Amino acid sequence: MLISKIEKMDEKILFARIANDDQEAFSILFFQYGGRIYSFVNKITRSSVLTEEIVQDVFVNIWKNRAGLCDIDNPSSWIMTIAANLSYNHLRTEARIRKREKIAIAKQVDISEELDQWMDAKEVENMLSKAAALLPEQRKIIYNLSRMEGLTHEQIAQKLNISKNTVKNQLVQALKFIKQQLQSKSGNTTMLFISILIEINKK
């Protein structure tokens, strides 16, 4: 029911009338509190669309629970508490939705990134092979035994009849040379990836 005149009324009187299904009293309450609730909720949500939705929910809740309004000692505080609770509930719901959306997007991104990384790794492998081909012969053999065959320093030392320290020193020099060769040819991301591969190969 629309009312022709909005009168300032005591909230407890309004609540008592609303409890008796008085829609005119409900309308008065709406116009009496609507602006205040809107300002309060908007400070929390920072969204006019969400604020309007919450303000509507506040008054729907009041009407749905009208049977117990006579038992409310502080109507103003009760109304604002409903507004606050609904605001934070909406924000939590929105946050969960955004989180699920981010997870879904992240999964899609992960798939594409995995493909990109695989392609980058393949490209890096080619670059490593080309750089390794420029190494001095013994250093290249040691590098390939470590990199391609996965032999340990001790296994390489036994195979080539040299000391473990020689193997380690030759590998360190080989890796430094490869990094220098690739430094001017690769971007930061690729260099990071190469550095990771190199670090793995050190062990």
42, 51 Cβ separation under 8 angstroms? yes
* pLDDT of res. 1: 43
Measure the CA–CA gap between 75 and 14, rounded to whole angstroms: 9
- Give the count of beta carbons closer than 10 Å to the beta carbon of residue 38: 17
Looking at the domain covering 133-202, what would its CATH class be? Answer: mainly alpha
- Domain positions in the chain are 11-98, 133-202
Architecture of domain 11-98: Orthogonal Bundle (1.10)
pLDDT per residue as tens digits for the range 38-72? 888 888 888 888 888 888 888 888 888 888 998 88
Residue with the two structure tokens 């989180």:
99
pLDDT per residue as tens digits for the range 68-95? 998 888 998 999 999 999 988 888 777 6
pTM of the model as a whole? 0.45
DSSP 8-state secondary structure symbol assigned to residue 68: G
Q: How confident is the model at residue 107 (pLDDT cuts 50, 70, 90)?
A: very low
Q: How many CA atoms, within 13 angstroms, populate the side-chain half-sphere of residue 173? A: 15
Output 186 or 123, whichever has higher pLDDT. Answer: 123
